[in-house]
């Protein structure tokens, strides 16, 4: 079964658009080690190929690793900015794969292929920035609501409530 770049991009986007959950440093490290192990396996597979197919395979292997790193970093940091950065890194990785696939073409077909890859990358990067800004605004609004709830309390309960809100919203 042949997977088109668009189907692969859609599947990856669906997986990576799931809500990110914060991880601790051990989980973060384990995710990066898994990515390295998978990269090694993919690179070994690429050694069996030749020419353009090998180049594309190598680029895809690196892209998979870079995407896994980005996702692990975003989950570890658990901020809108880190999520946006991960989406941008993923867009760059997808662009590198698409550009490598375009290398087999020539002339106007190659130019169109590269232009489409750049447009897809730029669109995804712009969406990442927009979602980051919305998420940051939502997070700020949620923090203000939580803080207002805490302000209705007194003493130790108020202090505990504020510290929990600050931790939850990274303030």
Domain that holds residue 120: 5-126
Determine, yes or no, domain membership for 86. Answer: yes
Tell me what pLDDT residue 22 has.
Answer: 65
**In angstroms, how far apart are the furthest CA atoms of the chain?**
72
Tokens of 122: 């730029």
Is 33 within a domain? yes
Cα–Cα distance between 167 and 24 in angstroms, integer? 14
For the chain, give the mean pLDDT.
Answer: 85
Residue 54 forms part of a structural domain: yes
DSSP secondary structure string for all residues of 64-115: HHHHHHHHHHHHHH-SHHHHHHHHHHHHHHHHHHHHHHHTT--HHHHHHHHH
**CA 1, chain centre distance (Å):** 26
Kindly report, residue by residue over 36-95, the tens digit of the pLDDT.
Answer: 999 999 999 999 999 999 999 999 999 999 999 999 999 999 888 899 999 999 999 999
pTM of the model: 0.68
Domain count, the chain: 1
31: in domain: yes
Angle at which helix 80-102 crosses helix 51-77, to 10 degrees, equals 180
- Please indicate, yes or no, if residue 38 is contained in any of the structural domains: yes
In a domain, 37, yes or no: yes
For residue 15, pLDDT beyond 50 = no
What's the pLDDT score for residue 10?
43
In a domain, 56, yes or no: yes
Q: What percent of the chain has pLDDT over 70?
A: 87
């Amino acid at each position: 079964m042949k997977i088109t770049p668009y189907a692969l991009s859609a599947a990856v986007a669906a997986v990576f658009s799931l809500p990110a959950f914060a991880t601790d440093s051990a989980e973060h490290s384990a995710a990066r080690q898994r990515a390295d192990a998978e990269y090694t396996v993919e690179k070994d597979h690429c050694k069996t190929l030749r020419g353009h197919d090998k180049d594309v395979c190598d680029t895809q292997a690196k892209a998979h690793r870079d995407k896994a790193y980005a996702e692990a970093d975003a989950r570890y940091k658990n901020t809108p900015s880190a999520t946006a950065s991960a989406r941008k890194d993923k867009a760059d990785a997808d662009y590198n794969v698409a550009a490598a696939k375009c290398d087999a073409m020539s002339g106007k077909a190659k130019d169109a292929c590269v232009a489409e890859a750049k447009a897809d990358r730029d669109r995804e990067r712009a969406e990442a920035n927009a979602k980051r800004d919305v998420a940051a605004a939502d997070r700020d609004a949620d923090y203000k609501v939580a803080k207002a709830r805490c302000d209705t309390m007194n003493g130790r309960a108020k202090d505990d409530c504020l510290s929990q809100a600050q931790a939850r919203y990274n303030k």
